[in-house]
Structure 1
Amino acid sequence: MLPGHPGKHVADAPEVWEVTATETPFQGKKTGVRTDDVVMPDGSVVRRDYQVHPGSVAVLALDEEDRVLVLSQYRHPVREKLWEIPAGLLDVPGENPLHAAQRELYEEAHVKAEDWRVLADVYTTPGGSDEAVRIFLARGVGAAEGERYEVSEEEAEMELARVPVPDLVRGVLAGELHNNCLVVGVMTLVAARSGPGLDSLREADAPWPARPFEK
């Protein structure tokens, strides 16, 4: 029998290990790299390099035909064009993540939504980055008013599609879709539907300890 505690409630918990020295060898426009000397439980000190990130939001926008709005965008670090859900950075420290998500949905897809819930809060790569992402579920989707936001650079080549949920699940399980927020968002949606239901999801302004904000 495998070791462990059957039925144990598991939940992440805050913890801070002593840092004896820190430096920032690189600082870009939005993100940087930090180097910390961290004291281990046995008293040894090890060096940890990681990306410092402002945080992000992503939106799984679901239309009345149970299709998800997705965008195809070139991602240079992985040399692939990935299908993703609308997403973007928190532009200002302490920014309300719901407001940021609504902005990204408008700018990337020229869409608005009536009903918002939190699907999941994740750390994308906690071994090498402190990036935290809040993924929202947006329902009651419709076209936004006004002029369409002018995009540039990689976003200028984006392709937009509305894809049925089962097709996205199939793509994830087949290894054809790789974007973190799309995978987590779609699979969380399916899990919520098969379990407690979408109305059990957290309110859109639920606390987010990883990136505290003013309501």
Structure 2
Amino acid sequence: MADFGAPGSHDYRTVASREVFDGRIVRLRVDTLTMPGGGTAQREICGHDDAVAVIALDDADQITLVRQYRHAVGERLWELPAGLCDVEGEQPVETAQRELVEETGLEARFWEPVISIVPSPGFCTERVHVFLARELSEVDRPEAHHEEADMEVTRIPFTDAVDAVLDGRIVNGIAVAGILAARATLAGR
């Protein structure tokens, strides 16, 4: 079996960094790194806040999904309730709790970390923390803005969500990883 903790043989060092863009959601920079065998190479990096996603599972083993327009791909995608860790000092589980209320009007009594993923490590700094939320109750949902105002919220059997991942109806990478990891967690792994 692979030694997942073993370091590589080359120490990649950033010898220069140039900011290209600093926006509301992303920051772009070009880093110059040392390469194995000598020399340097440039890497374009998208700085992005960490994020959270929630597997909200009710007592009937139904998962809450949201369908949201994603302009980058020009599609409405089925996703987990999710959001950015963009409130100073807020822990990821607190962000998940806030986002669940904001997007679905649900609160949960029980919270468990399921998986943390790095969706696009080839160019992006974002890390996503996925939580399992159980013992749900309905609360008032704040007024939604922008794409969230057009967001569809639904509950489906968890097994149907797993099937939707496996047959390609759910393609959002965070939802795919979160749903499959939650399946393993719920099976006792």
Using the alignment, how far apart are the partners of 1:171 and 1:56 within structure 2? 23
CA-CA distance at 1:195 after TM superposition: 4.2
Letter in 2 for 1:53: H
Unmatched 5+ stretches in structure 1 = 1-6, 197-215
Work out which of the residue numbers 34, 41, 48 in structure 1 matches 2:36. Answer: 41
The within-5 A match list for 1:9-158 is: 9-11=3-5, 17-144=12-139, 147-158=140-151
CA-CA distance at 1:29 after TM superposition: 1.1
Letter in 1 for 2:178: G
Letter in 2 for 1:18: R
Structure with greater strand percent: 2
C-alpha distance 99-17 of structure 1, shift in aligned 2 (>3 A): same
CA RMSD, Structure 1 to Structure 2 (Å): 1.9
CA-CA distance at 1:95 after TM superposition: 2.7
TM-score with structure 2 length normalisation? 0.93
CA-CA distance at 1:17 after TM superposition: 1.9
Work out which of the residue numbers 158, 165, 180 in structure 1 matches 2:158. Answer: 165
C-alpha distance 37-94 of structure 1, shift in aligned 2 (>3 A): farther
1:54-104 superposed Cα distances (whole Å, 9 cap, x missing partner) = 110111100001010001000000111001111000113553111111000
* Contact residue 22 and residue 36 of structure 1 kept, 8 A: yes
C-alpha distance 30-120 of structure 1, shift in aligned 2 (>3 A): same
CA-CA distance at 1:156 after TM superposition: 0.8
CA-CA distance at 1:155 after TM superposition: 0.7
C-alpha distance 116-48 of structure 1, shift in aligned 2 (>3 A): same
Unmatched 5+ stretches in structure 2 = none
* Contact residue 111 and residue 141 of structure 1 kept, 8 A: yes
SS in 2 for 1:77: coil
TM-score with structure 1 length normalisation? 0.82
SS in 1 for 2:77: strand
Using the alignment, how far apart are the partners of 1:16 and 1:139 within structure 2? 43
Using the alignment, how far apart are the partners of 1:80 and 1:13 within structure 2? 40
SS in 1 for 2:29: strand
Identity of aligned residues (%): 38
Using the alignment, how far apart are the partners of 2:185 and 2:141 within structure 1? 33
Using the alignment, how far apart are the partners of 1:113 and 1:175 within structure 2? 29
C-alpha distance 94-35 of structure 1, shift in aligned 2 (>3 A): farther
Using the alignment, how far apart are the partners of 1:62 and 1:12 within structure 2? 37
Pairs aligned (count): 188
